[in-house]
Amino acid sequence: MRARGFTLIELVVVVALIATAMALAATVFSSGLPGQQLRGATLELAAQLRYTRAQALVTGTAQSFQLDTRSREWLAPNRHQGKLPAKIEVVATVAKEEQPAPQVAAIRFFPEGAATGGRIVLKRGNAAWRIDVDWLTGEVAVARGESP
């Protein structure tokens, strides 16, 4: 009668295949992570800009969103604050009158919905996302890339 089971060679081949599959999966996940981090940071900033606009509409008073482009820290109304990941580069174009300091970009939203407008670009390596705030409507739009 013949014994049932696997040979040592079969077990080694299966373990090698599993190790190879895990190495490939780790490579795929780690290479996708920076892009996901960049997109997530962009969506977070856009959400906070929309929140700032909503606060201006609800309270009937102008509200300001500030972003320190050097430290990557942001501040929205009602003590909403946060910090972007260290490897993300920030470039902001806003109205000069709204800048409380040279490295701080600020966008003011008015009670009727308008804003001072501006563009915030987040970059990591060759990838970039931009957030545009329309000055007339205060609408916040997100798009891939640095310029339209």
In order of their start, the domains of the chain are: 40-144 (3.55.40.10)
Handedness of CA 17, 18, 24, 25 (dihedral sign): positive
Exposed/middle/buried for 66, CB within 10 Å: 0-12, 13-18, 19+?
Answer: buried
- Which pLDDT score is estimated for 148? 62
What is the C-alpha to C-alpha distance for residues 76 and 70, in angstroms, rounded to an integer? Answer: 17
Cα–Cα distances (Å) from 125 to 35, 47, 90, 92, 143, in that order, read: 9, 23, 12, 17, 17
Model pTM? 0.78
Instruction: Judge contact between 105 and 97, C-beta under 8 A.
Output: no
Q: What is the pLDDT along the chain (148 residues), one digit of tens a residue?
A: 566 777 888 888 888 888 888 887 766 665 557 788 999 999 999 999 999 999 999 999 999 999 999 999 999 999 999 999 989 999 999 999 988 898 999 999 999 999 999 999 999 989 999 999 999 999 999 999 876 6
Burial class (CB in 10 A: 0-12, 13-18, 19+), 107: buried
Contact yes or no for 67/105 (Cβ under 8 A): yes
In terms of DSSP H, where are the helices of the chain?
A: 8-59
Contact 17, 43 (CB under 8 A): no
